[in-house]
Structure 1
Amino acid sequence: MATYRRRTRIAAPIDRVWAFHSTVDGLLELTPEWMNMRIEAVEGPDGERDPDVLTTGSRIRMSIRPFGVVPRQRWISRIVEREPDGNAPAEGSAYFVDDMVDGPFRTWEHTHAFYADGDETVLVDTVEYRLPFGALGDAAGTFAKVGFEGMFRDRHRRTAERFEAE
């Protein structure tokens, strides 16, 4: 399985960065326009529609059409781990993991980790993935990092700018 990782220091305390990343609004704000993402449905673990906080068991049904040139691709994401869970504030460190239930990859597991460092937060995104197409996809896995780099660089830049503007 191939791995992509990106780390950025954010000039804001962990509780604020964590709260922002724990919502669908955060996902929408951080996703680059060129991904042409549409959120079609969000469901909490108890079936609640459009929960305020994405907790363990939440699902997001979305679609993407990168650069508007490929056919629209369905993507269903599920929060499989979250610490602290619920509305508890983050102290020291926090993380959540989402996986792809249905979508364009053979496997996709994305860990969003947050570490307090004084009044700042270190944000670390780690994605473990397998491309479709069997051995051919496995061979091309490292090349997918080129595509991830632009998206995650943009997401991290947007996060930093959002909190610097406050």
Structure 2
Amino acid sequence: MPVYERETVVDAPFEEVWAFHSHHSGLEALTPDWMHLRVETAVGPDGEPDPETLEPGATIESTIAPFGVAPRQRWVSRIVAREEREGTATFSDEMVRGPFPKWVHTHTFEAVDGGAASESSGTSSERSSDGGTRIHDRVEYELPVVRGLLGPLGSIGFEPMFRYRHRKTKELLE
């Protein structure tokens, strides 16, 4: 099965980055406008609407319309794992309905000394004294094939999407 991975360091404290990604509003904030994402519902594992934290069993039902030209596609994800330890955390979501035959996205966060500014320039900033956070995305997937052609999302490619997500995370949290 194909795997896509991308990693970046954000010059923001681990706790702040983890909290941001623990709510469905993080998904909305990090999805490029050209995907035309709408989160229709977010439901916690016990059925509560709009849970504060996405715990295992929570589901997010959204619709997307890439570039606004395709009909809206339904995408339902379920949080299947979540773990937090001192300075590290991870959660995984699995698509249970949507445009891919298989999609498992594992998000990993790790506190690092300094931050992106101190790593790239060798100087420290006010923010980097709090430490930074390494974000690692890993997606296991199968692309849809319709009459020999990739489905609409497969042709877009993951790199622009995840490059945007990581850049936007830095913009919002640094």
Aligned to 1:98, which of 75, 83, 93?
93
Distance in 1, Cα, partners of 2:52 & 2:91: 16
TM-score when normalising by structure 2: 0.83
Contact conserved, 1:37 with 1:63, CA < 8 A, in 2? Answer: yes
Distance in 1, Cα, partners of 2:103 & 2:133: 25
1:91, distance to aligned residue in structure 2 (A): 2.4
Q: Deviations over 1:59-96 (max 9, x none)?
A: 00001001011111000000000002xxxxx5221000
Gaps of 5+ in 2: 114-130
Counting matched residue pairs gives: 156
Letter of the structure 2 residue corresponding to residue 61 of structure 1: E
* Identical-pair percentage: 54
Any residues of structure 2 matched to 1:130-141 within 5 Å, and which?
130-133=142-145
Letter of the structure 2 residue corresponding to residue 131 of structure 1: L
Distance in 2, Cα, partners of 1:92 & 1:163: 17
Aligned to 1:155, which of 136, 144, 165?
165
TM-score when normalising by structure 1: 0.87
Any residues of structure 2 matched to 1:76-115 within 5 Å, and which?
76-84=76-84, 91-115=86-110
Distance in 1, Cα, partners of 2:23 & 2:17: 11
**Bigger Cα Rg:** 2
Distance in 2, Cα, partners of 1:79 & 1:98: 4
Letter of the structure 1 residue corresponding to residue 19 of structure 2: A
Matched with 1:27 is: 27
Distance in 1, Cα, partners of 2:82 & 2:42: 17
Distance in 2, Cα, partners of 1:130 & 1:163: 32
CA RMSD of aligned residues (A): 2.1
Distance in 1, Cα, partners of 2:3 & 2:87: 25
Matched with 1:126 is: 138
| CA 1:105–1:48: 2 relative to 1, 3 Å | same
